[in-house]
Amino acid sequence: MSEAGPHSSGTVRRAVVWSYVLTGGNFAVTGIVTFVMAAFVPPAEFGVMALALVWVTFAQMLMQHGPAQAVVQREDVTDRHFDAAFWSTLGLATVFAGLLSAIAPLWARWNDTPQLAYVCWALAPVIVLNALGIIPDAILRRRMDLKRISLRVLTVALISGVLGIGAAVAGLGVWAYAIQQLTMSALTAAVVWTVTDWRPRLGGIAPALRDLRRFSLHSLSEVTAFFVSSRIDALVMGAFFGPAAIGLYRFAVRIVEMVNSVAAGGIGQVSLSDLSRLTADRAAFGRRLGQFVHAAAMLMYPALGILAATAGPLLRLIGEEWVPAAEALRVLCAAGAITMIGSILTPAVQAAGRPGVGAVIGWVEAVVAAASIVTVGVLMAEAPLSAQVPAIAWTVFAVQGSMTALYVWVALYRVLRLRARTVLLPSLPAFLAGLAALGAGLLVESLLPAGFAVFWGLVVTGCVAVVVAVGVLAGLDGRARGLVRSLLRRG
């Protein structure tokens, strides 16, 4: 069986809608679970889990951007390509899980955290469980058939979240996160196989694997570079800072990543497959890419502005021990606003068959980021938590901002041959809406009287920021204005 051909605009719209149902629902469930668990698990315990998840996350990136990405990008694929992608992905995951188990004691010693080895051993099966569902999920994304899986995956997130919260309330600390991760991976793998009729076969996959090899290797190089550059903080920080500093910083990163997964992640699940079918029509490719960037910006920029505005009361509500992460959270919101463009352009560059471009820039960023984080670590090793965490965030902001600017220029002008005005200018109203939300929220917070209840301070600040963001976006962006009118008529 062979799959090829462009998707209709209606198919793309439905896929985007269900993609946002999935990512938006996951954001709501995961966000609530993360905040509730943080109220019962101290930053140092969260830091241990963040250090263990470094390698699980890396494995997940490799699984999603190797052969799996190749079968989504490739114009013509057969069941043999799916078979080759499945068995190679599962084999790679098994090897990686074994390597993680072997290096766990060394990783724990590097971070001077003996408990870390046991957590890594507990999470090693997650790598294999995640790999079981990668190719069926890629097939659904290629067919843009996300409706069948969305509600099931959300149910899985809810069940695993409830178990994680229960374990956190019971005082299990870092093991509450481990229980949540293991449950989610196992149930997700089971669910994915219930919604696809494809089943892998053994034998005769060598020719198909050769077809996928070139794109897979470039894609793996790119994602490895992205991992090193984006996770260099966790890779290096343990040598200079304690688990508490790592936990505070990675918690702030986690919150921003959740916002990004909704805004850019929903687009990312369908953009590679769709843009890959438009590479022969440059004008249509440019228009569709501009639509993707605009849609992500309308969601992400106002959301980041609101999040930055409410960072202080939000973290105080969770617990005073999380307050030192407030400034870092605001800085990382700014970094997320910049890197969002790059995250949308990456599937476009891959669709154009040039994943090596992102790999080269990614490795440059990794080297620069490593040198910068080590420098900060040396200078700030003895500083208080309130100074260490923002210093790391500002360093990451500087590195990611400069490298994203370089990547955007190369992607648009050297690879895709598109005008920045066409792709980026429509996102300006959303960016201004985010800035306005931040300014309004900070102003309101500064005017609240001393002793004002933290919860109601969060509510007031958040409501003002939301109203300002929606008002500015609706006033400056025609598409957003139309959406607001439509919602008001339905109301």
Question: Could you report the per-residue pLDDT of 143-175, keeping only the tens digit for each?
Answer: 666 666 667 777 888 899 999 999 999 999 999
Buried b (16+ CB within 10 A) or exposed e, 166-193: ebbeeebbbbbbbbbbbbbbbbbbebbe
CA distance 485 to 318: 36
> What is the residue type of 304?
L
Backbone angles phi, psi at 2, to 5 degrees: -115, 145
Tell me the average pLDDT across 32-57.
88
pLDDT of residue 209: 67
| Residue 91 Cα distances to 86, 98, 334, 413, angstroms | 9, 11, 39, 38
For range 340-357, the mean pLDDT: 79
Q: What's the rounded mean pLDDT across residues 466-471? A: 93
Among 89-93, 279-283, 412-416, whose mean pLDDT is lowest?
279-283
pLDDT > 90 in the chain, percent: 29
Q: Which of 254, 267, 8, 246 is nearest to 116 (CA)?
A: 246
Kindly give, in sequence order, each residue whose CB lies less than 8 Å from that of residue 198, ignoring residues fewer than 6 positions away.
79, 82, 136, 139
The better pLDDT of the pair 177, 20 is held by: 177
Token reading at 181: 């991760």
Q: Residue 484: is its pLDDT beyond 70?
A: no
Average pLDDT value for residue range 369-388: 88
Residue scoring higher pLDDT (217 or 396): 396
Could you read off the pLDDT of 233-268 as tens digits, one per residue? 777 777 788 888 889 998 999 889 888 776 666 666
DSSP 3: E
**Least confident piece of the model among 4-18, 134-148, 441-455, 462-476:** 4-18
Q: How many other CB atoms are there within 10 angstroms of residue 199's CB atom?
A: 11
Q: Residue 101's pLDDT is what?
A: 94
User: Would you say 52 and 116 are in contact if contact means Cβ atoms under 8 Å apart?
Assistant: yes
Percent helix / strand / coil, the chain, rounded to 5: 85, 0, 15
> Is residue 341 pLDDT above 90, yes or no?
no
pLDDT above 70 as % of the chain: 81
d(CA 15, CA 145): 7
Summarize the confidence of residues 26-49 as an average pLDDT: 84
Q: Which of 53-57, 71-75, 326-330, 367-371 has the lowest mean pLDDT?
A: 71-75
Q: What is the DSSP letter of 75?
A: S
Residues 393 and 326 sit within 8 Å (Cβ to Cβ): no
What distance lies between CA 344 and its chain's CA centroid? 12
| Position 296 pLDDT exceeds 70 | yes
**CA–CA separation, 130 and 59 (whole Å):** 9
Residue 308 tokens read as 């930055």
In this predicted model, what pLDDT tens digit does every residue of 64-95 receive, in sequence order? 766 666 666 666 777 777 888 888 888 889 99
Q: How confident is the model at residue 106 (pLDDT cuts 50, 70, 90)?
A: very high
| Lowest-pLDDT range of 27-36, 427-436, 456-465 | 27-36
The pLDDT score that the predictor gives to residue 20 is 57
Q: Are 307 and 53 in contact (CB under 8 A)?
A: no
The residue-averaged pLDDT of 281-291 equals 83
pLDDT of residue 347: 79
pLDDT score recorded for residue 254: 87
Residue 243, both tokens = 């688990």
Return the DSSP state at 425.
Answer: G
Note the pLDDT of residue 124: 94
Residue 220: closest CA among 101, 342, 65: 65
**Residue 377: pLDDT band with limits 50, 70, 90:** confident
Which pLDDT score is estimated for 143? 67
The confidence score (pLDDT) of residue 4 equals: 47
List, for residues 202-230, the tens digit of each pLDDT value: 776 777 767 666 666 666 666 677 777 66
pLDDT at 8: 47
Q: Of the candidates 183, 189, 126, which has an alpha carbon nearest to the alpha carbon of residue 159?
A: 183
Q: Give the rounded distance of the alpha carbon of 152 from its chain centre.
A: 20
How far from chain centre, in Å, is Cα 78?
A: 30
pLDDT attached to residue 265: 63
First to last CA, the chain: 46
Q: What is the pTM of this model?
A: 0.74
Task: Please tell me the predicted confidence (pLDDT) of residue 61.
Answer: 79
All structural domains of the chain with their residue ranges: 6-490
- What pLDDT was estimated at residue 485? 64
Query: What is the C-alpha to C-alpha distance for residues 51 and 406, in angstroms, rounded to an integer?
Result: 29
Residue 475 confidence (pLDDT) above 80? yes
